[in-house]
Amino acid sequence: MTIRHALRSQPVLRTERLTLSQLGPDHLDLVMAGLADEDAMRLTGTRTTFTREQVGAHLAALPGADDRADFAITGPDGAYLGEVVLNELEEDDRSMNYRIALAGPSLRGRGFGTEAGRAVVAWGFDVVGLHRVSLEVYAFNPAAQRSYEKIGFVVEGRAREVLRHGDQWIDAVAMSMLDSDPRSA
């Protein structure tokens, strides 16, 4: 199976507490609510204001995409908890970017993000056939960095003062995981 074929036939992933399924147009209201979470926007460095139409068009294009995998995270009671994404495919290098956002402060710190990340990364390496998954996390987000380290991501460097935040300059920490790396730290 090629990388693009595996991404196009994105499966449902199940973990102990979570179900990860295709993110799509049905999630429009939930995703719009997440975009209104100012803390999450700060932590992810998102400054653009997306209209409902723009988000709807984005979500409509996700099912069947062969260059990315966008999962909606749902909890044991079926509630939407957020999204976790593999994107920016570099096919020849078998590499992708990873990003995640839980849908509100009350959902953080309960291990959901780490649990979802472990499942997506394992699928990316074992089924999609990726060699490398990478991400950047701002230095003012140590909880996210810790979650990524628990999944098995390794710090590989620091881009200095890439983000202007109020009167401060914020570094970005580059992290990656290779298919040969231990899965959990």
Ligand X SMILES: CC(C)(COP(=O)(O)OP(=O)(O)OC[C@H]1O[C@@H](n2cnc3c(N)ncnc32)[C@H](O)[C@@H]1OP(=O)(O)O)[C@@H](O)C(=O)NCCC(=O)NCCS
Q: Measure the N-to-C terminal CA separation of the chain; round to a whole number of Å.
A: 30
Nearest residue to ligand X by CB is 113
Q: How far is the CB of 176 from ligand X (least distance, A)?
A: 13
CA distance 28 to 31: 5
Q: How far is the CB of 124 from ligand X (least distance, A)?
A: 16
Burial of 170 (C-beta count, 10 Å sphere; 0-12/13-18/19+): middle
Q: How far is the CB of 89 from ligand X (least distance, A)?
A: 19
CA distance 140 to 4: 35
CA distance 144 to 101: 10
Residue 19 vs 141, nearer CB to ligand X: 141
Residue 64 vs 105, nearer CB to ligand X: 105
CA distance 2 to 70: 18
Residue 113 vs 152, nearer CB to ligand X: 113
Residue 3 vs 135, nearer CB to ligand X: 135
Other CB atoms within 10 A of residue 146 CB: 12
Q: How far is the CB of 115 from ligand X (least distance, A)?
A: 7
Residues that bind ligand X (CB under 6 A): 40, 43-44, 82, 100-102, 108-114, 137, 141-144, 146-147
